[in-house]
Amino acid sequence: MPAPQFILNYTGQKYRESKHTEILNIDFDKYETIIEPFGGSFGFSRYLHEKKGLTHLKYIIYDNDEDLITFYKYFQSLIIDNTHTDFINEYNQEVQKLKNECQLETNIKYLNCKKLTQFLKNYKHENIFIDYIIQKNHISRGVPKASFKKNCCFLELMKSATFIYSNFEDIADDVLNDKKTFVYFDPPYIATDNSPYKNVNLNKTFEKMIKLYDTVPCLMVHQYNFLLSYVFKEYKQIEYDKRYGITNKKVKHVFIYNF
């Protein structure tokens, strides 16, 4: 069964694979707050809130992408004001318009990534957030992402979650050191793509992660890397295979945890 649709087609989404955490038998009744320092699409928090029914917990989402956090806060305000449906409908109309324009121009059903990217570079909408979401959702098997038709279960969590723009190394220590807090790390894959770290002090980031493993319950999921596993060798580790895309390619991943 496919995962409920999210507002962004965000790379690195952890919603589906969070089911693997079941093997860890985590007792979330011990905690009051869930923090995702590398927020992205906050798939782990959405999984806990939607699949596990942990709606009573406080969820704090950090990310160093300012545009992403700005959009989340904007969309959150629409949900609180109950005007998000209008926004989604407008987005759907723009997606359909863009699909029609692309097909008329190229006379083909599917566009290659280069042509579609060029279309999107020329695309501008009076609502900067409509423009942003189309840019983020711009491709799915060669065509602009389909309209929202599924149940958007994440709306209730977005209404109550706290979204903060910050690099991980800049987050105040007292926020992360509360024993009632559970920290979920999903850092960008350091071995395969360093680009997300271009504005990050990598030494401070990993020093802070290592320090936190000595103080509060932490869980990290990462593509398996010998050096990373060695650095965190004193903590528990469980490997599993993650399947990617329509190719179904298996890539070894690892949970590193201290509880």
Q: Label the pairing between strands 181-185 and 58-63.
A: unpaired
What pLDDT is recorded for position 254?
93
Cα–Cα distance between 14 and 89 in angstroms, integer? 26
pLDDT value at 172 more than 90? no
Distance, in Å, from the CA atom of 177 to the CA atom of 37, rounded to the nearest integer, reads 13
Digit-coded pLDDT (tens) for 126-141: 999 998 988 888 655 5
Residue 1 has a pLDDT of: 44
Measured distance between the N- and C-terminal CA atoms of the chain, rounded to whole angstroms: 31
CA torsion through residues 246, 247, 248, 252, sign: negative
Residue of higher predicted confidence among 188 and 79: 79
For 236, list phi and psi in degrees, rounded to 5: -70, 145
21-47 per-position pLDDT tens digit: 988 999 999 999 999 999 999 999 999
Q: Which of 11-20, 85-94, 228-237 is least confident?
A: 11-20
Tokens for 40? 């992205």
Give φ, ψ of 128 to 5 degrees: -65, -25
* Distances 77 to 36, 83, 100, 134 between C-alpha atoms, Å: 21, 9, 31, 19
Mean pLDDT on 109-120: 66
For residue 35, give the nearest of 155, 172, 200 by alpha carbon: 172
Between strands 162-165 and 58-63, the pairing is parallel
**Torsion region of 25: left, alpha or beta (phi above 0 gives left; psi -120 to 50 gives alpha):** left
pLDDT tens track for 193-240: 666 677 778 888 889 999 999 889 999 999 898 988 999 999 999 998
The pLDDT assigned to 110 comes to 56
DSSP-derived secondary structure letter, 2: P
Summarize pLDDT for 43-61 with one digit per residue, the tens. Answer: 999 999 999 999 999 999 9
The set of residues, in sequence order, having a beta carbon less than 8 Å from that of 138 and lying 6+ positions away, is 9, 116, 117, 120, 144, 145
Average pLDDT over the chain, rounded to an integer: 84
CA–CA separation, 20 vs 39, rounded Å? 19
Q: What is the pLDDT of residue 97?
A: 83
Which pLDDT band, with edges at 50, 70 and 90, does 144 fall under?
Answer: low
The whole-number pLDDT of residue 247 equals: 64
In the chain, the domains with their CATH numbers are 16-73+153-257 (3.40.50.150)
**pLDDT attached to residue 15:** 83
